[in-house]
Structure 1
C-alpha cells in the first residue's frame, strides 16, 4: 500500500482521539472506511482505529458490537468517537491475521510438498470450526444476522483466538415495536479498559453531542422512548443521506476490518446488481433502514445464500448458516466451494453441485421475488457434495450438508453443530496454543479484486454462460440460462 502523508488523514484532526491514541500508520483503506494501527497512550496497548465514512454501517457495527460485548469470539470494541458532523471512529482490538490467511498458508504448504497431508490437521480444523460456531451462536442468540461471513472477516489473534468482525452489514432481527427493556439508553462512552462491562450495553443513539466526552464518564445517561429513538434515527439518516448505503448499485464496504492489512471487496461491475436480475425496476431495491424491509444485496457473492441470489427480502439468521457451510467446505479442501464470477454464475455453480432449486427441495421457493424471472436448464446429475469434498470423512461431509440446504428451515443452527459428535471424537480439537497462526496477513488482499483468492472475474454475468433466452411475460422479462 502506498504511503500517505499523516497530514492528509482526517483522523489526525480529531483532538479527542489524538489526545488518547498515537496513530502509527494507516493499514487499510476502502470506499467507506479507513483503518489505522494505533497505540493507546494510557497503557501502550496496540489497537485498531476504524474510521467509518458511512453512517448506516457505523450505526450497525456499533450497535451489534455493543450487544455482543463479552462474547469471547467477537472482536472487542473498546470505545468509539462519534459527533454528528464527523465520521464515527471505532477503537477495536488489533488482530494481525485472519482465517483467509490460514487457508492460504495451508494451501501453500501442500503445494510445496512440505506436508503430505490434506492441508489443515483435523485437530486444528475442529478448533477453528468450534470458534467460528461459538461466535456465530453468540450473534444468533442475540438475533443478530451478520450478513457478510467469509474467511477474511474471521480475525485471528497471535494466541490463536478467532473472532467474528466487520459488522457493518449486520442487522438485529426484532419486531420494531419491541426494544430491550422498552427503552434505549444513550451511553456517553464504552468502557475503554480491557474489562468487559458486567451488563449488556444498550443500542447506541448518535445525536448532536459527542458520544465520547472526556472527563465526564460518569455523566448520568439519558433514556428515551422507542418512538423518539426511531424518530431521531430517521432524522439523522436523512442528514447523512450522502453517506448512506448505495441502494441502487449495491456498493458497500464490508471488507475493511481491523486487520493489519485491508481486504479488497470482490464486488465487480455486475449489470444486474440493482435489480437482482429483474428488469421490472418499478419497486427498486428495498430500503434497509434498520427496522424496515431487508435487502437481498448483502454479503460477498461466494458465500451468499440462494434466497439472497433470488432477491429475498424476508430472510433470517439462516443466511449466515449457508455462509458457514461454504466456509467449512473451504477449510476442508482449501479451495472456495462456489467461486462464482458473477451472480448468475454463482447460481449455476450451486445448482451444478446440489441440483436445481425446486418446490420439492424447498417448498415455497417459487414465491421468491426473482424465481419466475430467472430459470436454468434442468440438471439431471448434480455433482454432489461428496465429490466436491474429496478425502473428507462422512462426519465432515454431513456437517457441510446440514448447512448447505436450500430450505433455510432445514439448516443446522450453530448451537446444534457445537453439540455434534464430530467435535468430541478423536482426533480431538487442539488447544489454542497448538494452532498455527500465520505471522502476517496475505498481502494479496490489497491488489486482487476478488480478495485474496486470485480468481479471474468477469465484469458481466453473460460472458461465462453462453446462450440465453429472454422472453416477455405479463410482468416484464424472463431470462433462461443454458
Structure 2
C-alpha cells in the first residue's frame, strides 16, 4: 500500500471497501478494493477468486473495468482497478432531470462493466449447474426467480433490459422487496406466463410452488408513457420470458432505435456527478477524462454492421 495515497472512500460491498487512490510513482488515479479475510486459514474467498479469474479471462475487453494488480495487505489483500468517474446508478440518481433520448443513446462515452464478485465463467455445457441467487434482485431474470440452476447469457440480457427501462423512466422497472414480490412485479407488467408464452416454465425447480392469478400484460406504452416507440420496441426484445428469444447483444446494438433522431449525444453532453455529491455536473468539465478528441469511427462497435442503418443526407 506504500505506493498509493488514499484520496477518499468510494463505497463498500459484501467483501470489501473501495477507495479512490493515486499511484505515487505514476500519478495514476485508481480504485483500490480492500478485501479482509475473516480467518487466515480459510484463504481467499471463492467469490474473490472468481472475480479475479473472470477479470483475467477478459482483461483485453475495452468494456470491462481493468484489473491492474492484486497484492496482499495485512490480514487480507487489495485489488487495484482502473478508476471510473462515476457509476450509472449515480448518473441516474443525481441527474437534475431525466436523461434525454440522445443521452440514453450516447455512444462515445466510456461505459464499463464492473463488480464481478458473483461472476462465473460460462460454459455451453447444458449439464453444468449454477447458483440462482445471482444478480441484484431488481435486475434478476424470471428463470432465476423460479430457481433455475441451468441458464445462459439470457439472464444478463434481461438485466440489460431492466437497466434500459430505468434509463428511459428514471426509476427501476421491477423494484421488488423480496424474491416473491420481485416475481409479482414482473408478472404485473408482462402478464402471467403460460406454457404457450414460456414453454420451459414447467421445467423450472420452483414452478407450481406458488400460484399466481392469470393477468394479461400491461402495454409498455402505459408503463413508460414518455418513451419513444422505437425504444419500447427494443425494450420488448429484452424482456421476454423465454431466455433464448431475448435479443442478442450484437443485434441490440444495431437496432433502428440507435440510428433515428435524436442521434446519440456526445459524452461531453452527459451528466457526470462527482462521487458523494447530490448535484450532477455536466460533461464538458471532464472532457480530458473522456478523451473528447477520440475519432467517432473508433467509438462505433462495428462500422459494417451500422452502415445499412445510416441515412446519408
SS at match of 1:37: strand
CA contact (8 A) 2:128 2:150 kept: no
SS at match of 1:162: coil
The aligned residue for residue 192 of structure 1 is none
CA contact (8 A) 2:99 2:168 kept: yes
CA contact (8 A) 1:98 1:441 kept: no
Q: CA deviation at 1:172?
A: 0.9
Residues 322-361 of structure 1: pairs in structure 2 closer than 5 A: 322-361=158-197
Partner Cα distance (1:27, 1:105) in 2: 16
Q: CA deviation at 1:24?
A: 3.8
CA contact (8 A) 2:69 2:81 kept: yes
Partner Cα distance (1:397, 1:123) in 2: 15
SS at match of 1:96: coil
Which residue, 105, 109, 114 being the options, matches 2:94? 105
Partner Cα distance (2:4, 2:122) in 1: 35
1:419-458 per-position Cα deviation (integer Å, ceiling 9, x unaligned): 1121122221122222221233467xxxxxxxxxxxxxxx
The aligned residue for residue 411 of structure 1 is 246
CA contact (8 A) 1:22 1:38 kept: yes
Partner Cα distance (2:252, 2:274) in 1: 30
- Give unpaired runs (5+ residues) of structure 2: 37-43, 279-313
CA contact (8 A) 1:403 1:412 kept: yes
Structure 1 stretch displaced more, 160-169 or 328-337: 160-169
CA contact (8 A) 1:97 1:441 kept: no
Tell me, yes or no, if structure 1 residue 437 matches structure 2 residue 297: no
Change (3 A) 1:353 1:27: closer
Which residue, 90, 104, 111 being the options, matches 1:162? 111
Partner Cα distance (1:311, 1:41) in 2: 48
TM-score normalised by L of structure 2: 0.80
1:166-205 per-position Cα deviation (integer Å, ceiling 9, x unaligned): 01111111268xxxxxxxxxxxxxxxxxxxxxxxxxxxxx
Residues 172-183 of structure 1: pairs in structure 2 closer than 5 A: 172-174=121-123
CA contact (8 A) 1:58 1:88 kept: no
1:222-266 per-position Cα deviation (integer Å, ceiling 9, x unaligned): xxxxxxxxxxxxxxxxxxxxxxxxxxxxxxxxxxxxxxxxxxxxx
Structure 1 stretch displaced more, 357-366 or 431-440: 431-440
Residues 210-225 of structure 1: pairs in structure 2 closer than 5 A: none
- Give unpaired runs (5+ residues) of structure 1: 1-16, 111-118, 132-159, 177-290, 444-482
Residues 313-328 of structure 1: pairs in structure 2 closer than 5 A: 313-328=149-164
Tell me, yes or no, if structure 1 residue 401 matches structure 2 residue 236: yes
Partner Cα distance (1:99, 1:29) in 2: 16
Partner Cα distance (2:120, 2:12) in 1: 24
Query: What RMSD in Å do the two structures reach over aligned CA positions?
Result: 2.2
Change (3 A) 1:31 1:168: closer
The aligned residue for residue 36 of structure 1 is 19
Tell me, yes or no, if structure 1 residue 68 matches structure 2 residue 58: yes
Give 1 or 2 for the bigger CA radius of gyration.
Answer: 1
Change (3 A) 1:27 1:397: closer
Q: CA deviation at 1:70?
A: 2.8
Following TM superposition, where does structure 1 have runs of at least 4 consecutive aligned residues deviating by more than 6 angstroms? none
The aligned residue for residue 385 of structure 1 is 220
Equivalenced residues, count: 270
Residues 181-192 of structure 1: pairs in structure 2 closer than 5 A: none
Q: CA deviation at 1:292?
A: 5.6
TM-score normalised by L of structure 1: 0.53
Change (3 A) 1:124 1:171: same
CA contact (8 A) 1:55 1:87 kept: no
